[in-house]
Amino acid sequence: MKIIAAFCLMILPLAGFAQKKTGRLEMLDPYAFQTKLIHMLGTLVDLRTPQEYEQGTIKGARNIEWDSEVFKEQAKKIPTYKPVFLFCQGGYRSGEAAKWFLEHEFSSVIILENGYDAWKSYGFPTTEKEVIEKEAPGSYDPEK
């Protein structure tokens, strides 16, 4: 009996290594999303089509179209240990993409509830096409 107990105590810690890590998922309204975006270092991803992206986006967003053939290739370049902030037009694509990011062991996935439409309805700043072309994606600045 003592041998079995000792064996279990040795094997039990190893069971954690076999399990896949599960990241944290949050769905936030635009106000809470903006607050986290300002205070956390992470990657902001616009999952919409390039045509939607060119019509305006959140400053600092990187456009990786969810439905594109290169989504996985581009998404794998994002650091898994930093939060990834996701948004699309209305929220559906973000939910689907969040599943992919969590399956690929991203530590924190944060979704903008109701997407870019909600962001704009709150009156938060957006970046239009001419500004997108001049600025490389970087950190979010709520003043612009």
**Tens-digit pLDDT string for the chain (144 aa):** 556 544 444 444 444 444 556 789 999 999 999 999 999 989 999 999 999 999 999 999 999 999 999 999 999 999 999 999 999 999 999 999 999 999 999 999 999 999 999 999 999 999 976 454 445 454 455 444
The CATH-assigned architecture of domain 21-134 is 3-Layer(aba) Sandwich (3.40)
* Residue-range domain boundaries for the chain: 21-134
Tokens coding 96: 């689907």
Contact 108, 50 (CB under 8 A): no
Q: Across the strands, what pairs with 84?
A: 43, 109
> φ and ψ at 137, to 5 degrees?
-55, 135
Strand partners, 26: 110
